[in-house]
């Protein structure tokens, strides 16, 4: 079930595109024709095109809908139900022995899933653990990495963070006896929706004596802005401030190098770009330099105990010397199956490099089409620099018509996006299952909806 997959369509051997090359390729838009013929041509030249058939797309009257909401809930892989059924059968036939027998034995599955997820975030296999859900993991990571003192107790985060992140931090501060004023916020400049790296670095600099933790997004959920994780981490480390990232909108969307960048911890969910089903398990990265530190406190449970002696059932806690050491409970095997299936498709694609190459093309074509057809009626909040965006474009309707009405009209025309208060339609063409023809149909339908 969880064996390493099949043939690879893309190649992870492709040389990495340097920053400068990528800018020169993508900043200058090619001369698109913006017709259906061209979208078809782009699709037939797309080496990852066949992956679309690995997914179940929603349909209306026998025709696939345009699904641009993979940033919110990724689509179901065709094989998920079959692989779930296989584990249900294993449960039926082997019952408790399924922990030790079968392919794989349930005892081996969590580490297997975690190590297969590691390449998606640029981690060593032992630096990733799949467990709980995103917000729970943020709390667990704050229990470890937020160690306030008299003078160093502040937490830097964005002013418009995703509500759950904000609520987690505020409640965590209260639990630890810290005032809500301990939060230092970074926000876009007036008149902009985007966070400037310069401003983040300056804020770190300014509060370097009092910051005990930095928590930022990889990709901002509202604007789709990809932050300069590497530079920001470097600055935090200059001053010895622990730094973590919420990668909900970054994982499976953009390539990440968490180990190389030296990030302390990161948390993400697997139901967005990782297509593992509604409310599926979260992922967590803990840098290997922390794995054997005995001075770091944590909330513990028996599944974080080192594996060799876990079943000796001694009361003392000896943590596993890797990210698995932060687990609490006996992991939910059924919930891990869809993650395995999904990771198989990422492996088939050849990993994040080929997916990112297609994603840049797809989103570039999307932006160019919007600018060509709807420039006076739609504005794009997402940065135009390819170093600063992933799949998603955040669209603001600049006509009299309320954006939310347009979003609903799109949905009635079988074109799915999502609405985020106060102003934004988020639309994410995903390289695993979206096509250039989807983009073409999206823009045509949006033009129709605006014309009504
Ligand atoms: C999707 C998302 C969450 C969701 O958290 P759960 O605990 O999985 O419900 C949290 N933070 C951000 C930034 C998100 O985008």
Spell out the domain ranges in the chain: 21-78+352-449, 108-347
- Of all protein residues, whose CA lies closest to atom 8 belonging to ligand 1? 134
Spatial CB neighbours of 420, under 8 Å, sequence gap ≥ 6: 221, 222, 394, 426
What percent helix, strand, coil does the chain show, rounded to 5? 45, 15, 40
- Of all protein residues, whose CA lies closest to atom 15 belonging to ligand 1? 248
Structure confidence at residue 25 (pLDDT): 38
282 CA: nearest ligand 1 atom: 8
Pocket test for ligand 1, best of 163, 248, 339, 420 (most atoms within 8 A of CB): 248
**In 406-451, at which residue ranges do the beta strands (DSSP E only) sit?**
415-416, 418-420, 424-427
CA of 418 from ligand 1 middle (Å) equals 15
Structure confidence at residue 19 (pLDDT): 39
CA of 164 from ligand 1 middle (Å) equals 6
Pocket test for ligand 1, best of 140, 141, 165 (most atoms within 8 A of CB): 165
- β-strands 154-158, 415-416 pairing: unpaired
Q: Which residues of the chain have pLDDT under 50?
A: 1-7, 11-28
CA of 135 from ligand 1 middle (Å) equals 6
- Cβ atoms of 75 and 271 within 8 Å: the answer is no
- Of all protein residues, whose CA lies closest to atom 10 belonging to ligand 1? 164
Q: Which residues line ligand 1 (CB under 6 A)?
A: 133-135, 162, 164-165, 217, 221, 246, 248-249, 269
Pocket test for ligand 1, best of 131, 172, 249, 269 (most atoms within 8 A of CB): 269
Residue linked to tokens 């003192």: 149
108-347 placed in CATH 1.10.260.30: no
CA of 266 from ligand 1 middle (Å) equals 13
CA of 80 from ligand 1 middle (Å) equals 23
Token readout for 283 is: 């992922």
- Of all protein residues, whose CA lies closest to atom 14 belonging to ligand 1? 248
Residue 433, Cα to own-chain centre: how many angstroms? 16
- Cβ atoms of 269 and 221 within 8 Å: the answer is no
- Cβ atoms of 79 and 72 within 8 Å: the answer is no
Fold of 21-78+352-449: 3.90.1150
136 CA: nearest ligand 1 atom: 7
Structure confidence at residue 294 (pLDDT): 85
**b/e string for 264-275 if b means 16 or more Cβ within 10 A?**
bbbbbbbbbbbb
CA of 422 from ligand 1 middle (Å) equals 18
Residue linked to tokens 């969590």: 110
Pocket test for ligand 1, best of 161, 221, 278 (most atoms within 8 A of CB): 221
Does the N-terminal peptide bond of residue 223 adopt cis geometry, omega within 30 degrees of 0?
no
């Amino acid at each position: 079930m969880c064996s390493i997959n099949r043939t690879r369509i893309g190649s992870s051997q492709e040389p990495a595109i340097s920053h400068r090359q990528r800018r020169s390729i993508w900043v200058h838009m090619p001369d698109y024709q913006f017709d259906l013929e061209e979208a078809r041509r782009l699709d037939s030249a797309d080496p990852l095109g066949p992956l679309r058939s690995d997914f179940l797309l929603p349909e209306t009257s026998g025709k696939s809908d345009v699904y641009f909401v993979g940033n919110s809930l990724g689509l179901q892989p065709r094989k998920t139900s079959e692989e779930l059924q296989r584990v249900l059968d294993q449960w039926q036939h082997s019952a408790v022995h399924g922990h030790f027998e079968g392919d794989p034995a349930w005892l081996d599955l969590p580490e297997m899933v975690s190590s297969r997820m590691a390449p998606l975030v640029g981690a060593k296999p032992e630096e990733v653990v799949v467990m709980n859900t995103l917000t729970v993991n943020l709390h667990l990571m704050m229990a470890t990495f937020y160690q306030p003192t008299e003078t160093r107790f502040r937490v830097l985060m964005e002013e418009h963070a995703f509500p759950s992140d904000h609520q987690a931090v505020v409640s965590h501060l209260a639990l630890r006896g810290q005032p809500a004023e301990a939060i230092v916020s970074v926000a876009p400049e007036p008149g902009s929706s985007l966070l400037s790296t310069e401003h983040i670095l300056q804020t770190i600099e300014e509060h370097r004596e009092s910051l005990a933790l930095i928590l930022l997004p990889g990709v901002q959920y509202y604007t789709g802005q990809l932050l300069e994780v590497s530079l920001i981490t470097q600055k935090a480390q200059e001053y010895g401030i622990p730094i973590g990232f919420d990668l909900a909108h970054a994982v499976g969307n953009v390539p990440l190098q968490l180990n190389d960048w030296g990030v302390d911890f990161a948390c993400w969910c697997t139901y967005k770009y990782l297509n593992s089903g509604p409310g599926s398990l979260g992922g967590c990265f803990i840098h290997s330099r922390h794995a054997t530190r005995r001075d770091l406190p944590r909330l513990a449970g028996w599944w974080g105990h080192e594996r060799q002696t876990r079943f000796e059932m001694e009361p003392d806690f000896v943590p596993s010397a890797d990210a698995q050491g932060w687990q609490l409970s006996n992991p939910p095997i059924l919930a891990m199956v869809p993650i395995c299936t999904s990771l198989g498709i990422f492996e088939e694609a050849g990993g994040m490099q080929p997916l990112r190459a297609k994603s840049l093309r797809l989103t570039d074509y999307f932006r160019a089409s919007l600018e060509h057809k709807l420039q006076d009626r739609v504005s794009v909040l997402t940065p135009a620099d390819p170093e600063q965006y992933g799949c998603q474009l955040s669209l603001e309707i600049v006509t009299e018509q309320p954006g939310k009405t347009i979003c609903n009209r799109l949905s009635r025309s079988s074109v799915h996006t999502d609405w985020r208060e106060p102003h934004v339609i988020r639309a994410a063409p995903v390289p695993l299952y979206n096509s250039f023809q989807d983009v073409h149909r999206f823009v045509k339908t949006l033009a129709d909806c605006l014309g009504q």
